[in-house]
Amino acid sequence: MLTTPYVTSYLSEHFAHDDFGTLKGYERRGGYQAAREALTRMSPEEVVQRVKDSGLQGRGGAGFGTGLKWSFMPRETEKPKYLVCNADESEPGSFKDRILMERGAHQLLEGILIAAWATGAEKTFLYVRGEYAWPASQLERAIAEAYAKGYLGPKVMGTRFRHDVVLMRGAGAYICGEETGLLESLEGKKGQPRKKPPFPAQVGAFGMPSTVNNVETFCHVPHILSKGVEWFRGFGTEKSPGTTLFGVSGHAVRPGLYELPLGTPLDEIVFEHARGVPHGRKVKGVIPGGMSMPILPAGELDVRMANEFLRERKTMLGTGGIMVMDETTCMVRVACIITYFFRDESCGQCTQCREGTGWLNKIMSRIERGAGLPADLDVLLDVAGKMEGQTICAFADAAAWPVQGLLRHFRADFEAHLREQKCPFPESFEL
């Protein structure tokens, strides 16, 4: 089992040590000092401002400013306010949150405590992906330790601040990783994203003002508070500061996690850190940020891994899940898998998503079967275009972008299928 990233930085520095996951081990390495500092010496507004100044972007995929998100929580309200930790890590290609929970549960809890103080939340719901049994058990153990030590409960660290953490296991739907789909699932309903307005900061979990953050996002916060904004901004780029855990999978010699500053060039990650493609083959394409992000062809791997650069290549950082594909890969098969996934996981509310995901998958499967029609490629692009930006949540976009990316960079693969009326990549992985 992978216990520590191949390349570490501040988040994963101590992951090699088993006791880092325990309260004792975490505190010995300076844990919970940032939370104590925040709760006893800083006002919530100061904490929000500090996180704003740090430029920390949410690590769940959308890259929204964390401090700004926290500032949306109403200050004057009679209602209880909630934090929600999105630990439903379900983006194919992404496996960073898992290790952050398995190896550094208290780091996450400390981040949650600080965020709770900053937003005035009295309770955090930790929504953990159903399949993550081991990470959930580690969190449960850490939560129990924190309660026993008085770091959670009615008087956090002896202050008058109350905070509770409730862990809830998901049941295995991708869409429950979407902020409001998660909230519905958390409330015991079918996981279907909510229309906005109202936004979660007004009406969130159980109708109360809520802020939803990704696991990794919380984990950065103690470091920002204890080491300072300047230090944090020393990592990454001007617009995308800090590190992230890049997860490399697919045709890589050394797949795994790499904690590197944002802005690290993709080819450096793939060829230096992950040591390139096995069997002396060449790279054909790389998905830079989890399956919903458009693919990049071999010639564009010089891009720096931060949204401001990736957007120029019409893709995004997403969750930093890097999927490497070698030259034997049939991109139509890739498209089949991706469209099947999104067809299967669409919640089915919005017309474009419910119908569009199915249609894209049916066409892709037909092309791969050798029954493609000349008009198919135009229809694919047109349908993907009609799905984009028109639905309740970003799922339909996430389903449309990979198709657009594959057709943008690997149209030749599709045309070969149409021309030969069969799959011309016999060595590609099997469906």
Instruction: Please say which residue, 132 or 340, places its beta carbon nearer to other proteins.
Output: 340
Which helix (H) or strand (E) covers residue 258, if one does? strand 256-261
Contact 407, 377 (CB under 8 A): yes
φ and ψ at 226, to 5 degrees? -80, -30
User: CA dihedral in degrees (182, 186, 191, 192; nearest 10)?
Assistant: -70
Q: Which one, 115 or 347, has the nearer CB to other proteins? A: 347
Q: Minimum CB separation from other proteins for residue 338, in Å?
A: 14
CB atoms within 10 A of CB 170: 22
Q: What's the CA gap between 145 and 140, in Å, rounded?
A: 9
**Contacts by 151-155, CB closer than 8 A, 24 or more apart:** 151/23, 151/32, 151/35, 151/109, 151/113, 152/109, 152/113
SS3 of residue 285 by DSSP? strand
Query: What six digits make up the tokens of 364?
Result: 């892709």
* Residue 253, amino acid: V
Q: What angle do CA 77, 79, 84 make, to 5 degrees?
A: 110
Residues that bind other proteins (CB under 8 A): 173, 175, 190, 195, 197, 343-352, 354-359, 362-363, 366, 373, 375, 379, 383, 386, 389-392
Task: Provide, rounded to whole angstroms, the least separation between the CB of residue 175 and other proteins.
Answer: 8
Helix (H) or strand (E) holding 105: helix 105-119
- Which is closer to other proteins, CB of 266 or CB of 387? 387
CB of 88 vs other proteins, minimal distance in Å: 16
> What is the side-by-side strand order in the sheet with 283-287?
256-261, 243-250, 321-326, 283-287, 296-297
* CA pair distance 265, 268, nearest whole angstrom: 5
Task: Give the CA distances from residue 155 to residues 87, 147, 164, in Å, rounded to whole numbers and listed in that order.
Answer: 26, 10, 10
Smallest Cα–Cα separation from 83: which of 154, 186, 192, 189? 186
Q: Give whichever of 4 and 357 is closer to other proteins, judged by the CB atom.
A: 357
C-beta of 120 vs 385, nearer to other proteins: 385
Strand 82-87 and strand 210-214: pairing?
Answer: parallel
Q: How would you classify residue 93: left for phi > 0, otherwise alpha for psi between -120 and 50, otherwise beta?
A: left
Distance CA 64, CA 122 (A): 23
Nearer Cβ to other proteins (116/400): 400
Q: How far apart are CA 30 and CA 12, in angstroms?
A: 14
68 neighbors 56 (Cβ within 8 angstroms): no
Beta-carbon contacts of residue 76 (< 8 Å; ≥ 6 apart): none
Report, in Å, the least distance between residue 181 CB and other proteins. 11
